[in-house]
Amino acid sequence: MTVVVPVDLADRSYDVLVGDGVRHELARVIASSVPSARRAVVVTQERIGVEVDPGLPFEVVTVPDGESAKSLAHLEELCRRFARSGLSRSDVVVAVGGGVVTDLAGFAAASFHRGTAYVNVATSLLAQVDAAIGGKTGVNLPEGKNLVGAFWQPSAVLCDTATLASLPPREWASGRGEVAKYALLGIDTPLGGPPSADLATDEQVARCAAVKAAVVASDEREGDRRMLLNYGHTLAHALEASAFDDAATDLRHGEAVAVGLVFAALLGRRLGRIDDAAVAHHRSVVGAYDLSTALPPGRDPEQLLGFMGRDKKAQGDLTFVLDGPHGVEVVRGIDRADVVATLAEMETTRRGAAS
């Protein structure tokens, strides 16, 4: 059964389709959502291996596997491929893949001809529950993740849960970190309460998509409420940036988010916002998705602080999304010493568990 989740953004509204086999709806979706399109470029990666039919003459462009594809150099090359293919502003880009592909192809579509329509066919759990929805596109810099990008909403998102069957374990982990985040946000939707590990995958994806759609509809450009979707991400992005181009120490996004969620709980407790039971709840939810909550060894606290200070939520301070008596909210002006102490607490816990 296909579940349709609307993203209500007035003239930029679109639907997220969730279900087994929904990628086969692509031609119909393009015909209805981008009726001007006469040509398509399908952007994907070699390892994805998912074929689609946009119902139009199309060219397939592959970008490198892995996070390294999200660079300014690859953005330029992709836009040049669009130009060489004869893609016009009235045509459509189709991103087929995980968050790397949807981020890069979406930003290229936002930039090409100052805005070309695109449709996401999300093939990873991370993309289906989060990255492909909401119009945040971009690429990385060595100084941090997603520091260059644009808000550019897709014309539709197709979350084909059949494509998840072939995901390797770490790709599942990457998506589950985001599902755990949605579970801890505690936001109800017309589809029901927050996702939980005991639900079927289709239902977890649909509930996460519904939470994302509701938050994006209320705050499209991350002025306030949408920042809640960055729960656990301040440390997570710092951990990812600290391992930039280092395969030996890399973390998948959701793996880093899992650590960041527990860090946020510990920091919230240190600030007197939540109690021990709430921290235990965070550990329990993250653990239910078979994710590690331990701070990876060998990370330099000063380097992590530097990355956290460049987080896009920050305004010349240290800003975190933290749980509290009124639920999860944005908290600004966090004292540096509290962050360092919380990192030290996690390091002590990790060493104790390893001994």
Segment 14-55, tens digit of pLDDT: 999 999 999 999 999 999 999 999 999 999 999 999 999 999
281 carries an active-site annotation: no
What are the C-alpha distances in Å from 21 to residues 2, 56, 175, 202?
9, 19, 19, 12
Q: Which residue is catalytic, options 226, 269, 282, 312? A: 226
Last residue of a domain, one of 186, 218, 250: 218
Q: Which residue is catalytic, options 207, 253, 269, 282? A: 253
Q: Rounded to an integer, what distance in angstroms lies between the CA atom of residue 187 and that of residue 215?
A: 9
25 carries an active-site annotation: no
Residue 256 lies in a domain: yes
**Same-domain status, 88 and 157:** yes
Give the tens place of pLDDT for each residue, 79-124: 999 999 999 999 999 999 999 999 999 999 999 999 999 999 999 9
The four Cα atoms 93, 3, 124, 39 give a dihedral, to 10 degrees, of: -10
Last residue of a domain, one of 160, 188, 218: 218
Domain that holds residue 163: 3-218
Residue 291 lies in a domain: yes
Residue 111 maps to which CATH number?
3.40.50.1970
143 carries an active-site annotation: no
**Same-domain status, 91 and 184:** yes
**Same-domain status, 203 and 330:** no
Residue 224 lies in a domain: no
Q: Which residue is catalytic, options 70, 145, 181, 212? A: 212
**Same-domain status, 249 and 314:** yes
* Tokens 């301070």, residue located: 317
114 carries an active-site annotation: yes
Sequence-ordered list of residues with C-beta below 8 angstroms from that of 60, at least 6 positions apart, any chain: 41, 42, 44
The stretches in the chain having pLDDT less than 50 are none
pLDDT, residue 251, reads 84
Q: Which residue is catalytic, options 81, 181, 233, 282? A: 233
Q: Rounded to an integer, what distance in angstroms lies between the CA atom of residue 26 and that of residue 75?
A: 24
Residue 226 lies in a domain: no
Q: Which residue is catalytic, options 67, 220, 222, 255? A: 222
**Same-domain status, 253 and 147:** no
Q: Which residue is catalytic, options 176, 230, 273, 282? A: 230
pLDDT, residue 284, reads 96
Q: Which residue is catalytic, options 178, 220, 240, 255? A: 178
Q: Which residue is catalytic, options 70, 237, 282, 312? A: 237
Last residue of a domain, one of 218, 250, 270: 218
> How many structural domains is the chain composed of?
2
pLDDT, residue 315, reads 66
237 carries an active-site annotation: yes
pLDDT, residue 350, reads 77
Neighbours of 141 (CB within 10 A): 16
User: pTM score, two decimals?
Assistant: 0.91
Residue 112 lies in a domain: yes
pLDDT, residue 351, reads 74
**Same-domain status, 163 and 237:** no
**Same-domain status, 201 and 298:** no
Residue 266 maps to which CATH number?
1.20.1090.10
Residue 156 lies in a domain: yes
9 — phi, psi (to 5°)? -135, 45
282 carries an active-site annotation: no
pLDDT, residue 355, reads 57
178 carries an active-site annotation: yes
